[in-house]
Amino acid sequence: MTNFSWTKQWYPVAPINYLEPSHLTPIALLGKKLVIWRDKYQKWIVMDDTCPHKLAQLSLGKIDEDGNLMCRHHGWCFDGTGKCTNIPMLSGDEKALATACNSEKSEVTTYPTQVLQGLLWVWLDDSPTAWKDCTSKQPAAIPEHKLDSSSRDWFMLEVPVGYTVSVESSFDPSHAQFLHEGIAGFSPQRAIPMQHFEVFGEMSAEDGFTLKHSGYNIFNKNMDATRKFTPPCSNTTIYEYSNDTSALFQLYFIPTKPGYCKYISKFIFDNVPQKRNFLFELLPEYLQTGFKHSSSYKLGNQDLSMMHSQAVNESIGDKTWQKSYFMPSKADIGIVTFRKWLDEFAGGKPAWQGFTEVPFQELSDEKLYDRWHRHTKHCPSCRQSLVLIDKVKDFCQNLTMALVILALLLIAINLPIKIVLIPVLLGILSLIFSYKLDSIRESFISSIPKKGLPVVELWQSLIK
């Protein structure tokens, strides 16, 4: 039975602080290409990323002086309702211009939006009743909790693994002790069998399901966990520990196109002491954020490697998940429950809009562990960090050259060697710093090391 509509839903598409008001942001959702921009009334607009003139990509355009979106190809302009407001090649012929701008053929489809908890949400339905229908349902926002959900920023990335495998993994907590060995205290030696894992209440098309389970390692064995799946893409997980502390994990898995999924997440912990580094805090805030982001890829790479390998093997056979998977333990209840919801209510997979699925393609390491397309290009802090790193690197290179020239001049006028050594040593330090900056820059672009073997080291035992 399929009675879940994939389009008549609120989807979070980006944290507001990831969007730049003066720029256009292209996105994909259920295979549909969309563009995000802010109009002259300071309202965030989401519309089809296609100009009705010659089907050019509107996100390649700009916002003009009147606050309208201008197509870069021929200058057609559109307001926040999708109505065409100007066709430059018809200027001077007011009647023809009015006729063309009032034609349905010149309109661009727009979608209902709202801003909630620092996220931009879009209602993907384009039916005549969409603007009315969207008012009857609220987005799957973070529920009220004793933890302050505003105390942490959202983190967003788009990964080259599909929606189903991504959501399924988030309902499989026991994998952490094995897959993430060596990170945050995870270790196979600390794993314990889960004592209970069960569905709480009813499962339905619109409300999804709720799971409750016990701990899975020696540190959280007395923990009570609740995982709530709210269709189409929300997993809200709350851990309640025996010492009266708690943790909240809000995860969104947005199906962008077949084989790709956008993750928007926020992890909030109770009474976790924060170590301060005063030298680090002297850096610009965006650079601090950029360094934090670039240092957090290892755990994600581990997840990616396993989920991609799973997708590869699933694509080879023609068996259903029920026949392919062997699920003998309580720890597997979350995986089974999500798969059952997907099959029973939602057609077994996302309903791609005007997008033909192609056979699954195994990815090279360069594509799988790419960081630019995965996160950096989406994140203003990481992009600003790259720009600053390049500027400092260029300065160091120019400084090195200037110091070398200065040293040669000092030698030419027969100054003592001690004086000559000063610019030489400064030049060497500047060159070393420039080389170091090159490695730091690469950490924003790819997980593949720039020197040595181009092998991504995923586990502690591989580190030399």
Task: Categorize the per-residue pLDDT at 462 as very low, low, confident or very high, splitting at 50, 70 and 90.
Answer: very low
Task: Categorize the per-residue pLDDT at 319 as very low, low, confident or very high, splitting at 50, 70 and 90.
Answer: confident
pLDDT of 305 > 80? The answer is yes
95-120: average pLDDT: 96
**pLDDT on residue 190:** 93
**pLDDT on residue 81:** 96
pLDDT of 355 > 80? The answer is no
Task: Categorize the per-residue pLDDT at 464 as very low, low, confident or very high, splitting at 50, 70 and 90.
Answer: very low
421-443: average pLDDT: 93
Q: Specify the CATH number of the domain 10-136.
A: 2.102.10.10
**pLDDT on residue 460:** 66
72-80: average pLDDT: 97
**pLDDT on residue 24:** 97
Task: Categorize the per-residue pLDDT at 273 as very low, low, confident or very high, splitting at 50, 70 and 90.
Answer: low
pLDDT tens per residue, range 280-297: 888 999 999 999 999 889
Of all residues in the chain, the percent with pLDDT exceeding 90 is 82
Tell me, letter by letter, the H, E, C secondary structure of the chain.
Answer: CCCCCCCCCEEEEEEHHHCCCCCCEEEEECCEEEEEEECCCCCEEEEECCCCCCCCCHHHCEECCCCCEECCCCCCEECCCCCEEECHHHCCCHHHHHHHHCCHHHCCCEECEEEECCEEEEECCCCCCHHHHHHHCCCCCCCCCCCCHHHCCCEEEEECCCHHHHHHHHCCHHHHHHHCCCCCCCCHHHECCCCCEEECCCCECCCEEEEEECCCECCCCCCEEEEEEECCCEEEEEEECCCCCEEEEEEEEEEEECCEEEEEEEEEECCCCCCCCHHHHCCCHHHHHHHHHHCCHHHHHHHHHHHHHHHHHHHHCCCCHHHHCCCCCHHHHHHHHHHHHHHHHCCCCCCCCCCCCCCCCCCCHHHHCECHHHHHCCCHHHHHHHHHHHHHHHHHHHHHHHHHHHHHHHHHCCCCHHHHHHHHHHHHHHHHHHHHHHHHHHCCCECCCCCCCCCCCCCHHHCC
- Match domain 149-366 to its CATH number in 3.90.380, 3.30.70, 3.30.750, 1.10.3470: 3.90.380
Task: Categorize the per-residue pLDDT at 461 as very low, low, confident or very high, splitting at 50, 70 and 90.
Answer: low
pLDDT tens per residue, range 10-45: 999 999 999 999 999 999 999 999 999 999 999 999
Q: What is the chain's mean pLDDT, rounded?
A: 93
